[in-house]
Amino acid sequence: MPRLVLFHLILPRFTGNMNTRDHIDLMTMTYRYHDESIIKSLPEDTIFVFGSNLAGDHAGGAARTALQHFGAVRGVGRGWAGQSFAIPTMNEHLQQMPLSQIQHYIDDFKTYTKNHPKMKYFLTSIGCGIAGYKVEEIAPMFKGISHNVIFPASFRPFVEKSLPKLNQHFLHTIFRDPVIFASNPDELIEVLALNDNEKSLAKILLNTQMYPTDSNGRDRIFEIEDILYGLKGKVFEWQSNSEGSMLFGGVILALLELYSINEQDFAEVWHGQREITPPRPAHRAKK
């Protein structure tokens, strides 16, 4: 069974030994993107940007990678160190910061990238791991940043084109075996009867890793199984416990999370009972 190709046309997959600029492909888009793989090296002119705590603990996730491979310093939880740049998302007590405070540190980073235009910045999905925020809460804060920033692919919908309205035509066009299991889905999407924003959304969905784990390493199998159970008989008939159905369900999960909807919403759109507007960026501080 063909597997989904992760971010193949966004950027070639980074590897632990990436040390030439050739691994970063300039595409015809506003920003460049990486596929959120674990990396251990970058070109000398590229800074590894990670989410930190103000204590500078650097014990897990991208912070640990920064400490081990990119010159981050214990006790330094903010700003530049070695080949890394820390953006605080947790306080010195290792507690989640409010979004308004994170926005302040992101604004500082925006200024830094503007003042150092010859450097490139490999941004990880800060705040979306241990800190516990969602991509739609963090990503919009980076809008308007300098074009020398390389974003995680999951941020793309919130820093580039607007997401389209979900309708029956889009779901029926995308959620078909020939599309979901295409060996080169991005090329296929280009010839589908979709507008530009819908094509962009389709590429995001098909290139989002969800099965068996997402790009942050979280096991999503149980969630996908719940989706398959909830839609069975209402929209699709699944082959029980098959790899194909799990891959298919992973794409549905990516859509549900991106639009903050559930299986019932999906079913209603599928049957033409309603259309769903895209979510507004969530960037207000939590109470």
236-261 pLDDT, tens digit each: 887 766 899 999 999 999 999 888 89
State whether 183 and 204 are in the same domain: yes
**Boundary of a domain, candidates 102, 136, 159:** 159
State whether 188 and 266 are in the same domain: yes
pTM above 0.75, yes or no: no
Burial of 144 (0-12, 13-18, 19+ CB in 10 A): exposed
Asked if residue 70 belongs to a domain, the reply is: yes
State whether 39 and 153 are in the same domain: yes
Q: How much of the chain exceeds pLDDT 90, in percent?
A: 61
Examine the pLDDT at 91 and tell me if it is beyond 50: yes
Residue 118 CB contacts under 8 Å (≥ 6 apart), including other chains: 45
| Cα(217)–Cα(270) distance, integer angstroms | 30
Asked if residue 94 belongs to a domain, the reply is: yes
Q: Confidence class of residue 35 from pLDDT cuts 50, 70 and 90? A: confident
Q: In DSSP terms, which residues pair with 213 in a beta bridge?
A: 219
Domain that holds residue 108: 21-159
**Boundary of a domain, candidates 100, 124, 159:** 159
> Residue 61 sits in a domain of what CATH number?
3.40.220.10
State whether 200 and 260 are in the same domain: yes
Give the chain's domain count. Answer: 2
State whether 68 and 138 are in the same domain: yes
Asked if residue 224 belongs to a domain, the reply is: yes
